[in-house]
Structure formats: structure tokens, C-alpha cells
Amino acid sequence: MPRVSVIIPGFNAEAHIAETLRSVEAQTYVDWEVVLCDDGSTDSTVEIANGFGRRVRIVRNSRNFGPATARNRAIAESTGELLAFLDADDYWLPEYLEYQVSLFDEGHSRHGDVGIVACNADVLGPDGFLDTTYMDIFGFPGGVTLDRMLKSNPIFVSALSPREVVDQAGGFCPEIFGTEDFDLWIRILELGYRVVATRRTLGVHRVGHPSVSVNLSRMARALQSTYRRALERGNLTPRQRRIAGRELRLQRTLEEIDSIAAAGRDPNGALPYVRIARVLPLLLLTAAEHPNRWLHGARMVAHGRRPGVPWKVATRFSVH
């Protein structure tokens, strides 16, 4: 039984899945298995993955359920003590598993309450690598508190967690699409577990440039669901509830701004003044609570993305 199970959700990932799996094969740490859940792909994802032999186990969903369900299915089919999450378009440097497992063992031997092991990553866009790393943009997550996590997610999705911790937290929420890892990290911290991290760059996070008009509202809705779930669970302190409430209002505001901006871009439509008037009190409250962040979000709507940062990074659970 391998100690580490590499959990990969895949949907129409033929463009990058071979590079992703080769990066696992190249690990200096060898006690691993890969469980890839193909989430209803219609391309050659499965055929490519089959070429990597028996250490890559493939399970298939009958249709596309989303990354949370695919990750949960892969976890259920895996056997490792530790779960290392890897998206099908990201990849690892050769020392990723060796360094992360060592970091877990060190933290666990000292305190025994490590729930998430995080690392830094280079960011790869369509035109090449950015001149900033993931942590340059989102900060260092080592020792991050629940208060800090509620404000934004600083954890590169390719993190490592003990299986028993993920099981105790309930796994990934299938009802959330786009912020399912953020939702899980919050629940792990609610249980009292710690985040340990290294500033060392151990992975590569691939990003693209899809249209904000297509994606901002969807991401804002996913974040609203994440914050509502956190509030409904009843585990937050009064201070944490205030933080979650402010973040919830920020995402509601960004969704409204995006919707109004979309109406304004319609050459055959009229600007929805009634809707603007209705949302104005929320906008003013959010502006007071987040004087810089809501304006930055509004600029993303106006300009197509946050300047200098691709969409997949710029919208990673909060606008800084």
C-alpha cells in the first residue's frame, strides 16, 4: 500500500495530462500511487493516461459532475495515508512529494495537528511564466489562521493532507464549483488543524485568460455559497462571522456589478437604473468595508481581468 495517493480530477484534459503525469513519474519520492478520476471526458484524456501503466489507476464518471465529485471519487478509490491533490493542467517539480511529505512528518512529530501542507508555485500563462510566484500574489500560508483564511485563500490547490483529516472534514462539497478547495481548507481549519508551508517553489500552476463577463459572476456565486456554508455550520467565532459576512457582501456586490456591466455592454439594452438604485446601498456598505478590494474587482469587470494577473489567479477566491 503506497503512503501517498495523488488525486487528479480530469475533464477533457488531453492538452496537459501527459505533462502532469510525467511530473509525478519524475518524483524523487517513490512511495505513491495516482488515482485519476475521468469526469466524463469526450477527448483522449483516458487513452493518454492509460499509457502510463499500472501506477496510474483510472476511474470514470458517467458524465461531467465537476471537480469536487471527481476528487471525492478518486479519494474513495485510493489507499494512501496522505492525499496529494494535483489538477490535470498543473504539474510538480521533481522534489514536490519528497519535500511535502518531509514537511508533514516534521510538523506532525512536533504537534500532531497538521491538516494541510502547502508550497509555492510558479505561474504559467499562455505567453510563458509570470515574473511573480503564487505566494508573491497571495502571501505565505504557513501558520495561517481561520480568520486569515476567511479573507482569501493563500493555498495553491496542489496541497497535501492526511486522509483522516479530509475524511473528518467531509471531503469536497459537490455543490460548489470553482472554490471547492477553499471550502475544504476552511472546514479543516474549523476542526483545529494547522497549515504548514514552504516558500520553496515545488509546482507549476497553469492559467488562462477567459472572459471575465463569463466567469466573474460564477466565481462570485461559488464564493457566496462557500461563505454561507461556513456561517450556517455555526463553528465560527463572532469575529470570524463578521469576516465571513463582509466577504459574502463583497462577492454579492461583485456579482451585481458584473451583471449590471454586462447589461450596459448590450448595444440593444438599456442601462438598468432601477437595479443600480437597488444595489447602491450594498455597494456603499461594501466600499466602506473594503475600500480597495471592491474597486479592484470593479476594474476587473471593466478591463477584462486584473491588470498583469491572469484570470485563474486574479479570481482565486478573493480580490486583493
- Counting the structural domains of the chain, the total is 2
Per-residue pLDDT of the chain (320 residues; tens, 9 = 90+): 899 999 999 999 999 999 999 999 999 999 999 999 999 999 999 999 999 999 999 999 999 999 999 999 999 999 999 999 999 999 999 999 999 999 999 999 888 899 999 999 999 988 899 999 999 988 999 889 999 999 989 998 899 999 999 999 999 999 998 899 999 999 999 999 999 999 999 999 998 754 333 477 888 899 999 999 999 999 999 999 999 999 998 888 888 777 766 655 555 555 555 566 666 666 666 666 666 665 555 555 555 444 334 444 444 433 32
Closest by Cα among 83, 84, 93, 97 to 201: 93
Q: For residue 139, is it within any domain?
A: yes
Q: Which of 180, 206, 232 is the last residue of a domain?
A: 206
Cα distances (Å, whole numbers) of residue 166 to 49, 59, 66, 185:
26, 20, 18, 9
Same domain, 269 and 180: no
Which structural domain range is residue 236 located in? 212-314
d(CA 139, CA 9): 26
d(CA 269, CA 275): 14
* pLDDT at residue 217, as a whole number: 80
Q: For residue 70, is it within any domain?
A: yes
Q: Which of 157, 186, 206 is the last residue of a domain?
A: 206
Q: Where would I find the beta strands (DSSP E) of the chain?
A: 4-10, 32-39, 56-61, 82-85, 91-92, 114-125, 128-133, 160-162, 194-206
Q: For residue 319, is it within any domain?
A: no
Same domain, 183 and 226: no
Cα distances (Å, whole numbers) of residue 79 to 2, 87, 168, 171, 262:
7, 19, 16, 15, 47
Facing residues of 57 across strands? Answer: 35
* pLDDT at residue 111, as a whole number: 82
Q: Which of 163, 186, 206 is the last residue of a domain?
A: 206
Cα distances (Å, whole numbers) of residue 273 to 152, 194, 277:
32, 47, 6
Same domain, 262 and 196: no
Same domain, 91 and 67: yes
* pLDDT at residue 218, as a whole number: 85
Same domain, 154 and 272: no
Same domain, 230 and 91: no
Q: For residue 81, is it within any domain?
A: yes
* pLDDT at residue 255, as a whole number: 81
Specify the CATH number for the domain of residue 28: 3.90.550.10
Q: For residue 286, is it within any domain?
A: yes
Same domain, 39 and 170: yes
Same domain, 191 and 247: no
Same domain, 104 and 34: yes
Same domain, 308 and 192: no
Same domain, 43 and 183: yes
Same domain, 35 and 167: yes
End-to-end CA gap in the chain? 42
Q: For residue 52, is it within any domain?
A: yes
